[in-house]
Structures are given as C-alpha cells and as structure tokens.
Structure 1
C-alpha cells in the first residue's frame, strides 16, 4: 500500500514539473518574441 501511494505521488510530482516547465517555456518564448 505504501509503495502504491509513493509511486502515485512521484507520478503526480513529475506531472506537475512537466506542466510547470511547459508554462515556463511558453512564457519565455512569448517574452522573447515580444522583445
């Protein structure tokens, strides 16, 4: 049970990191284009 919860939390953390990095890349690309 603990291993299952651990793997789920790791997957959620990776997903959050992926979404955050995508947003950062998009915002950086927009500012670069505007400049």
Structure 2
C-alpha cells in the first residue's frame, strides 16, 4: 500500500492555495468574491 501525504497552505491574503504532494506542488488561485 502506498501512503500519500498532501499538505495544503493558504496565502495570507487568502487568494492562493498551494498543495504539496510527494515532492510535486500545485498552485490554485482562488477567485475573490466581493462581499
């Protein structure tokens, strides 16, 4: 069985979400919703 560890971190301004999984990273830019 292979165990995968995924870490997610949110940028301080809340507009960028970074995923790190087994040495590879993916960045997701979130769309900011106006209140």
Q: TM-score, normalised by structure 1?
A: 0.18
Which structure has the highest strand share of the two? 2
Q: TM-score, normalised by structure 2?
A: 0.18
Higher RCO (CA 8 Å, separation ≥ 6 residues): 2
